[in-house]
């Protein structure tokens, strides 16, 4: 069993606080920079990567690909401007994929 590290990618304002609890922070502002950072982190041994929804928006294809792997785990988090609902949307998609119908969020839509 090997040990892994935990990282968070996002805009500086949102993720600085994570540093205090021992998570490695990678402040980026553009989608391209986020993609580069993400690629670098996947190559190194990071087990969990938190990424803000705002940045994840542009990286959907890469993240979807990573979701199929055992590691790393990509978790979307809201940023300081609030949530964009992509994380919840992801869960809904998973349900639809597995069950064939959306049974969890039926009431809303």
Partner 1 sequence: MEIRVNPTRMELNRLRKRLTMAQRGHKLLKDKRDELIRQFLILVRRNKDLREHIEKELSEAFAKFLLARAVMPAVNLEEALMYPTKMLQLEVQRQNIMSVYTPKFDWIEQESGGTGEASIYPYGFLDTSAELDTSIETLSNIFPQLMELAEVEKTVQLMAEEIEKTRRRVNALEYVLIPRLEETIKYITMKLDESERGALTRLMKIKDVVRAKM
Is 57 a binder of partner 1 (CB under 8 A)?
Answer: no
Q: Is 7 exposed, middle or buried (0-12, 13-18, 19+ CB in 10 A)?
A: buried
Closest distance between partner 1 and the C-beta of residue 53, in Å?
9
Is 67 a binder of partner 1 (CB under 8 A)?
Answer: yes
Closest C-alpha to 84, from 51, 46, 37: 51
Is-contact 53 79, C-beta < 8 A?
yes
Return the residue matching tokens 């986020």.
34
Is 35 a binder of partner 1 (CB under 8 A)?
Answer: no
Q: Which residues bind partner 1 (CB under 8 A)?
A: 1-6, 13-14, 16-23, 47-48, 50, 67-68, 70-71, 73, 75, 77-80, 82-83, 87-88, 90-91, 94-95, 97-100, 104
């Amino acid at each position: 069993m090997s040990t892994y590290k935990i990282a968070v990618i996002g805009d500086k304002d949102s993720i600085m606080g994570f540093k205090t609890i021992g998570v490695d922070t990678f402040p980026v502002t553009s989608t391209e920079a986020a993609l580069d950072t993400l690629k670098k982190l996947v190559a190194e041994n990071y087990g969990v990567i938190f990424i803000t929804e705002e940045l994840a928006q542009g990286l959907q294809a890469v993240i979807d690909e990573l979701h199929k792997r055992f590691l790393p785990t990509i978790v979307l988090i809201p940023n300081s401007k609030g949530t964009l609902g992509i994380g919840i949307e992801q869960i809904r998609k998973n349900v639809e994929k597995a069950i064939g119908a959306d049974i969890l969020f039926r009431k809303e839509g």
